[in-house]
């Protein structure tokens, strides 16, 4: 009997692991969305300009991200609606339109960073001018969006970008990191002179507004019976594990980028930030030698393409939601949303003189819009009319409000520097 009991326990454990692995995906797709060129630029600016002092922002942003992404996915699972659809259905029309319009601007800012990052990579690899490279990336992304070609290469792109991410993690193990300063940096808030724009860009690069809309939509790619409470409870449990696992990976990769930038590019006391991603490619030299710049550029290209597609998906989701429609690339609402996200983003790049600064400031703009999305999400997920018995608890509402206040406070602080 004991042997049978042990076998049953092993089988149950195995089934739980298999169920989790089957469910794994939405969180990783969101992670790819924020391990993007804008994120790379923000982390490199943080590490090269301020050493280990801004690591705390990655820690704080990731903690906030886990709570917010889980809450957004919670909305999608419990209601069958994405954040944009729920806003259209349960908020006054004028207020809803204003909120979702700012979200569309955030999606455009995100797409601009992703396309620009891919264009910088093309320049590094093939000496293609930034403006021409941006058009090429735009055409490729739109082709993938309208033909669903991305689904055939999605796993390859995620794998390659992940490998580069883990290259940063590996390099941390062989680089001369000041671990004492790093540990302090992870937990001690610090606001060095001139750091607020970079702090806001790190925040916007990690807690991206468009990803909150996207997560609440793609979580519904797994069809389930919304009438069955046990099914919903199970999905909520596995979704949280997926989100936690994926966001911790994101935290590790973001931290590794800052650590490597601090160890290889920071000039102590100079306050000088690296403002060129081609220089940043040297961070991989200890591991990859002379091939470092090429591999860095190739990873940047694939990161730009993959995150551009998540950006267009988010833009399509937000715009479709304005008309209370789900994301469906076959519908005119979604197609218009994709085009209204990607084309203006590419046009903006034509007027950018300093590409690296464009990447950093685009992430800062995301942080500025973030409080609008967070307060909207809190309003919807705390409402029993929207969520039924799955509405936020008082404790969760308090935690979400604390996050909203912190994000708003950081934005206000930017006005005084």
Segments making up each domain of the chain, as ranges: 31-414
Would the pLDDT of 417 be above 80? no
- pLDDT digits over 327-374, tens only? 888 999 999 999 999 999 999 999 998 888 888 888 888 888 999 999
381/281: higher pLDDT: 381
Q: Does domain 31-414 have CATH number 1.20.1740.10?
A: yes
| H-helix segments, 188-276 | 196-206, 209-218, 229-264
Look at the pTM and tell me if it is higher than 0.75: yes
Which of 132-146, 212-226, 242-256, 300-314 has the weakest average pLDDT? 212-226
236/393: higher pLDDT: 393
Q: Which pLDDT value is given to residue 401?
A: 96
Q: Tell me the pLDDT of the chain averaged across its residues.
A: 83
Alpha carbon of residue 302 to chain centroid: 15
Mean pLDDT across 376-402: 95
Q: Which pLDDT value is given to residue 1?
A: 46
Rounded alpha-carbon distances, angstroms, from residue 131 to 45, 136, 307, 410: 23, 9, 19, 33
Mean pLDDT across 17-21: 49
Q: Which pLDDT value is given to residue 184?
A: 96
Would the pLDDT of 154 be above 70? no
Q: Is 173 exposed, middle or buried (0-12, 13-18, 19+ CB in 10 A)?
A: exposed
Q: Which pLDDT value is given to residue 20?
A: 47
Give the closest residue to 367 by CA, choosing from 72, 34, 29: 34
Would the pLDDT of 233 be above 80? no
Of the pLDDT bands very low, low, confident and very high (cuts 50, 70, 90), residue 11 is very low
């Amino acid at each position: 009997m004991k042997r049978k009991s042990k076998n049953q326990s092993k089988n149950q454990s195995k089934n739980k692991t298999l169920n989790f692995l089957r469910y794994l995906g939405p969180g990783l797709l969101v992670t790819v969305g924020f391990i993007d060129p804008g994120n790379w630029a923000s982390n490199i600016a943080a590490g090269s300009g301020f050493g280990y002092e801004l690591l705390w922002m990655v820690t704080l942003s990731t903690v906030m991200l886990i709570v917010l992404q889980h809450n957004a996915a919670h909305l999608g699972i419990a209601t069958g609606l994405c954040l944009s659809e729920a806003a259209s259905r349960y908020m006054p029309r004028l207020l809803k339109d204003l909120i979702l319009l700012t979200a569309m601007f955030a999606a455009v800012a995100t797409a601009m960073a992703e396309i620009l990052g891919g264009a910088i990579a093309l320049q590094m690899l093939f000496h293609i001018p930034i403006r021409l490279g941006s058009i090429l990336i735009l055409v490729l992304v739109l082709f993938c969006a309208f033909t669903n070609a991305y689904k055939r290469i999605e796993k390859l792109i995620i794998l390659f970008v992940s490998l580069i991410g883990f290259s940063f993690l590996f390099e941390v193990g062989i680089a001369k990191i000041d671990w004492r300063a790093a540990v302090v940096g992870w937990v001690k808030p610090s606001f060095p002179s001139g750091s607020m724009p970079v702090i806001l860009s790190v925040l916007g690069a990690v807690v991206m507004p468009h990803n909150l809309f996207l997560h609440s939509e793609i979580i519904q790619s797994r069809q389930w019976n919304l009438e069955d409470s046990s099914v919903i409870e199970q999905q909520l449990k596995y979704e949280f594990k997926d989100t936690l696992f994926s966001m911790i990976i994101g935290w590790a990769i973001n931290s590794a980028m800052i650590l490597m930038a601090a160890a290889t590019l920071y000039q102590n006391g100079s306050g000088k930030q690296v403002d060129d991603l081609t220089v940043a490619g040297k961070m991989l030299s200890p591991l990859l030698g002379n091939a470092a710049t090429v591999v860095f550029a190739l990873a940047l290209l694939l990161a730009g393409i993959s995150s551009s597609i998540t950006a267009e998906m988010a833009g399509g989701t937000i715009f479709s939601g304005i008309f209370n429609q789900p994301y469906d690339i076959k519908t005119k609402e979604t197609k218009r949303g994709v085009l209204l996200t990607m084309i203006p983003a590419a046009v903006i790049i034509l007027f950018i003189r300093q590409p690296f600064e464009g990447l950093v400031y685009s992430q800062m703009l995301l942080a500025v819009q973030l409080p609008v999305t967070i307060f909207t999400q809190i309003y919807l997920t705390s409402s029993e009319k929207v969520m039924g018995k799955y509405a936020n608890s008082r404790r969760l509402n308090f935690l979400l409000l604390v996050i909203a206040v912190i994000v708003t406070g950081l934005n206000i602080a930017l006005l005084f520097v």
